[in-house]
Amino acid sequence: MSPASAATRAEALRLTVIAASDANTLDGAWAEDKWDAARLGIPARRARGRARFDTIRHDWLREPAKRWCRFRLATGCAFATINAGALALARFSRFLAEAHPDVQEASGITRPLLEDYLAWLLSQGYSNSTRALTLSMLRVFFDACHRHDWLPGLASGATIHVEELPFHHEQLPRFIPEYVMSQLESDQALAKIPRTTTRNLIITLMETGVRGGDACNLPFNPVITDSSGWPCLRFHATKTRAEQLIPLSAKAAEAIRGQQEHVRATWPDGTPWLFPAWPTTSPAVSPTHTRI
């Protein structure tokens, strides 16, 4: 598929989701409490194509949550982000069930209740980053509900303020000590790794500097040659949401070729991934939806 046709298809998909988001009711796969990106026709990263709403205990909260998530997909949010939003609302629903069982509709969500929720989250032992993500998702959800009237009766003051999000402390990068890297890079140490896929993955990571998640999402044939004939790794960088090219060293190129031969021998029927995982003890099972 050419870049132009791919862009056209993506835009058509976006407009379809927007049109569906304007509907008053959810139908088809959108109405289910467990979403699968493949069934919905939404692109998603490997093993990141599922979202759960069945853990949101309150029906009056679950349905607006699904409408909100569907609308966010139309604005370009990744499917994994949608699942994070559903998880945040599941936590809030658990709080309501445990601490405020008397709240049975949106009008019961007040500013004092949200202040109680801030304290409850802290008492649950969640990390700062988890609490920040949960509260920011809830904040965006309530803003959308106020704008689109998805939660009739929701008080205008029911919101999470920016200054209430836990402060994010910047941490120093955790570099691998040089003597450890020297051990990892030695042929003797690499030869001790029993699994071929793991060994080739480690070599690829060390030689290219690609993030682990991006490496696990590499397609079976990610190598192209540049204008001078040099092999380059073509991959999608999740952090920047952009496609990138990295020139390959001879060692990295050899590891990728060896991995392709290993995959062909192990899964004769093929797999879309360069580094598939073993889903069971039998290699005959398709590794399509599994991760290392």
Q: 215-248 pLDDT, tens per residue?
A: 988 999 999 998 888 999 999 888 787 899 999 9
The pLDDT of residue 13 = 53
Mean pLDDT, residues 199-215: 91
103: pLDDT strictly greater than 90: yes
DSSP string, 107-164: GG--HHHHHHHHHHHHHTT--HHHHHHHHHHHHHHHHHHHHHTSSTT--TT----GGG
- Residue 248 has what DSSP assignment? P
Q: What share of the chain in percent tops pLDDT 90?
A: 55
pLDDT digits (tens, 9 = 90+) for 246-271: 999 999 999 999 999 999 999 888 88
Q: What is the CA radius of gyration of the chain?
A: 23
Averaged pLDDT of the chain: 85
pLDDT digits (tens, 9 = 90+) for 61-75: 999 999 999 999 998
4: pLDDT strictly greater than 60: no
Mean pLDDT, residues 186-212: 90
Single pTM value for the model: 0.68
**Helices 178-185 and 196-208, interaxial angle, to 10°?**
130
291: pLDDT strictly greater than 60: no
pLDDT digits (tens, 9 = 90+) for 163-182: 998 876 666 777 888 888 88
Mean pLDDT is highest, among 75-79, 99-103, 165-169, 213-217, for 99-103
Where b means 16+ CB within 10 Å and e means fewer, 78-108 reads bbbbbbbbbbbbbbbbbbbeeebeebeebeb
What pLDDT band is residue 16 in, cutting at 50, 70 and 90? low
Lowest mean pLDDT among 5-14, 71-80, 122-131: 5-14
The pLDDT of residue 258 = 94
Residue found under tokens 């190129």: 253
Distance CA 100, CA 193 (A): 53
Q: Is 112 left (phi over 0), alpha (psi -120 to 50) or beta?
A: alpha
Structure tokens given for 248: 């390959």
Residue 237: strand pairing partners? 242
Sign for the CA dihedral angle at 209, 198, 230, 45 comes to negative
- Cα separation of the two ends of the chain: 28
The pLDDT of residue 169 = 66
The pLDDT of residue 160 = 94
The pLDDT of residue 256 = 94
